[in-house]
């Protein structure tokens, strides 16, 4: 029923946020990508805040779905984290949304409108929560060894993945993401 123009606009916005951040793109940029006029975007998303919030809501929904998918289809929790990392590695190598938009927006956070701030926070909370429970599952399952509390290990894992995205972007080398994230996964193995 719903036209997919709104979807196209939201996806274009996601791409542009991933490339340039909140202040780095305009309605004109979105209009050019989608192939419609600037004013038409306002019909679907009255304000820029609405558009970015919509992109973040969709982004989180996708993440939740992917996490649930991993939880139900992959037995080994360590393998789930490996697949999570692998997903980002592919995005970075293909230059396809090669960074988490919530992580990117968190950098600009103090300047962002409150509704966007709230969505970014929700993403961080959900992601850290999923990693934490996955780490706990892995400890029980026997494939993961936790040096510190699950909470601290989860926050560290999220941080190192986000930091690795920044380094890969800064240095222009996807390899640096690969080696950092491999090391982060390796460190969770009980054989150490």
CA pair distance 74, 93, nearest whole angstrom: 24
Q: Does 28 bind DNA (CB under 7 A)?
A: yes
Which of 20, 26, 118, 152 is close enough to bind DNA by CB under 7 A? 26
Which of residues 33 and 49 has its CB atom nearest to DNA in the complex?
A: 49
Residue 5 binds DNA, judged by CB under 7 A? yes
Asked if residue 115 lies in contact with residue 49, where contact means CB atoms within 8 angstroms, the answer is yes
| Both structure tokens of 22 | 């909140």
Alpha carbons 92 and 86: distance in angstroms, whole number? 10
Q: Does 20 bind DNA (CB under 7 A)?
A: no
CB of 116 to DNA, least distance (A): 12
Name which of DNA, its own copies, none residue 42 binds, using a CB cut-off of 5 to 8 Å depending on partner kind.
Answer: DNA
Of 67, 12, 6, nearest to 41 by C-alpha is: 6
Q: Could you give the CA distance from residue 53 to residue 17 in angstroms, rounded to a whole number? A: 12
- Angstrom distance (rounded) from CA 136 to CA 173: 32
| Spacing of C-alpha 111 from chain mean position | 20
Among its own copies, DNA, none, partner that 188 touches (CB below 5 to 8 angstroms by kind): none
Contact residues: DNA, CB under 7 A: 2-3, 5, 25-29, 36-40, 42-44, 46-49
Contact residues: its own copies, CB under 8 A: 19-24, 99, 102-104, 106-111, 120-121, 123-125, 128, 147-148, 151-153, 155-156, 158-164, 166-167, 169-172, 176, 179-180, 183-184, 186-187, 192
């Amino acid at each position: 029923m719903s036209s997919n123009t709104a979807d196209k606009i939201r996806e274009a916005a996601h791409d542009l946020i991933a490339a340039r951040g909140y202040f780095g793109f305009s309605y004109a940029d979105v209009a050019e990508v989608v192939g419609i006029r600037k004013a038409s975007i306002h019909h679907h998303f009255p304000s820029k805040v609405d558009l970015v919030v919509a992109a973040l809501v969709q982004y989180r929904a996708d993440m939740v779905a992917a996490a649930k998918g991993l939880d139900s289809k992959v037995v080994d929790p360590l393998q789930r984290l490996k697949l999570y990392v692998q997903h980002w590695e592919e995005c970075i190598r293909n230059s396809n949304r090669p960074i988490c938009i919530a992580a990117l927006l968190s950098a600009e956070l103090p300047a962002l409108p409150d509704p966007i701030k709230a969505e970014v926070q929700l993403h961080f909370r959900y992601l850290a929560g999923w990693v934490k429970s996955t780490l706990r599952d892995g400890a029980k399952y026997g494939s993961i060894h936790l040096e510190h509390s699950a909470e601290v290990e989860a926050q560290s894992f999220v941080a190192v993945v986000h930091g690795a995205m920044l380094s890969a972007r800064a240095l222009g080398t996807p390899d640096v993401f690969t080696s950092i994230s491999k090391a982060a996964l390796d460190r969770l193995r009980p054989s150490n």
